[in-house]
Amino acid sequence: MLDVRRLRLLHELKIRGTLAEVADAMQYSPSSVSQQLTLLEKEAGVELLRKAGRRVQLTPQAEILVAHTAALLETLERAETELAASLSMVTGTVRLAVFQSAALALLPDFLSIMRKEYPEVRVEMTQREPETALYETWARDFDLVVAEQYPGHAAPHHSGLDRVTLTSDAIRLATPPVGLGGETVATLADTASMPWVMEPRGAASRHWAEQACRSAGFEPDVRYETADLQAQIRLIESGNAVALMPDLVWTGRTRTVQLLDLPGLPERTVFTSTRTAGRIHPAILACREVLERVAAAQQKDTEQRADG
C-alpha cells in the first residue's frame, strides 16, 4: 500500500520543482522530504527521481503516481466539503489571498461581518499579486483568492479553479489636483512628457497602463515603480507623478487628485476563485456571499456619490 503522505510530497515536488520548496511548503526539512521520497520509491518498487544537475527530475512512473495523487487529493477535498456541508454550523478555516486595493476596500467590512455572522469561521488573509495568488490557490496554498483582470488582458486560468465575478470598477487617469508643473491635462495624450508611477514590470496593471499610453501615441516616462497604491496616490497628490488608477482605491477615502475618464470608459473586473472540489464548502460559500454583499454596497455608494 502506497503512503498517501509520501504521495503528496511527490505531487508537491511536481508543482514546486525543488525539494527545498516542497520542504518550505509542507513545513518539513529538505532531508526529511528526501528520506520520505526514498521510502516511497521502495514502496513503489520503481525509480521515481533522477538527478538533473542540482535538481531532481520525475521519471515517467513518478508522473503516473502524480496524476493519480492529484485525483486522490481532489476526492479527499470533496469528501471534506461534503462532511462540512452536513453540519448545522458553518465552521472551518479559509485561507484568503487578496491584492492590495481589494484588501483596503473590501476586507475591513468583510471581516467585521464574518466575525459577527460566522464566528466559527477563521479567515486568514495574505496579500498577494493576483497572478501569483491564482497559482498558489491551485497549488492548495490558499482556499480562496480575490483577483483582478484588466481589459484585454486575461488573468491566468488554472485547471480545477472556478471564477465568479465580484465587481468591476472604472480605470481613470489620475493627475495632481492643480496640474503637474502648471500644465493642463485634459486627455491621456497630454501626459506624454510627464513622470509616471506604475506597478513593477510583470503586473497586469503595468502592462495595461503601458499599452494604453502607447495607444495614445507615446511611451510613458515611468520614473517611479511601486506596488503600493497608497504610495502612488501620495506621489500624484503631491504633484510628482500621474497614473492610471481603478476606482476601488478610493473606497473609504476622499479623492485628493483629479480623475479623468479614458476613451471607451475601460473597467477592471474583480473576481473570486477557488478550487472546484471545495467550492460548495459552507465556509467558502459564506465568504463569497459576504464579499459580494460588501462589494455591492460599496458600488452603490460610489454611484450615489458620483450622482451627488
On the CB side of 183, how many CA atoms lie within 13 Å of its CA?
18
**What is the model's pLDDT at position 168?**
93
SS3 call for 164:
strand
* Residue 248 · residue 270 · CB < 8 Å: yes
pLDDT digits (tens, 9 = 90+) for 127-136: 999 999 999 9
Write the CA distances from 190 to 174, 223, 306, integer angstroms: 12, 17, 25
pLDDT digits (tens, 9 = 90+) for 247-259: 999 988 888 899 9
Residue 218 has pLDDT above 70, yes or no: yes
On the CB side of 49, how many CA atoms lie within 13 Å of its CA?
24
Bridge partners, residue 243, by sequence: 174
**What is the model's pLDDT at position 303?**
66
| pLDDT tier for residue 268 given thresholds of 50, 70 and 90 | very high
Residue 198 has pLDDT above 60, yes or no: yes
Mean pLDDT over each residue of the chain, to the nearest integer: 92
First-to-last CA distance in the chain? 68
**What is the model's pLDDT at position 54?**
76
| pLDDT tier for residue 243 given thresholds of 50, 70 and 90 | very high
**What is the model's pLDDT at position 306?**
55
Domain at 4-84: CATH architecture? Orthogonal Bundle (1.10)
**What is the model's pLDDT at position 304?**
63
pLDDT digits (tens, 9 = 90+) for 15-40: 998 999 999 989 899 899 999 999 99
Write the CA distances from 202 to 157, 209, 288, integer angstroms: 17, 12, 28
CA distance 1 to 139: 25
* Residue 145 · residue 137 · CB < 8 Å: yes
The CATH number of 89-307 is 3.40.190.290
Residue 176 has pLDDT above 80, yes or no: yes
Residue with cell 486575461: 154
| pLDDT tier for residue 181 given thresholds of 50, 70 and 90 | low
CA distance 264 to 15: 40
pLDDT digits (tens, 9 = 90+) for 79-121: 999 999 999 999 999 999 999 999 999 999 999 999 999 999 9
CA distance 21 to 6: 15
Same fold, 4-84 and 89-307: no
**What is the model's pLDDT at position 299?**
81
DSSP alpha helix (H) spans, the chain: 4-16, 19-26, 30-44, 60-85, 100-117, 130-138, 204-215, 229-237, 282-307
Every domain of the chain and the residues it spans: 4-84, 89-307
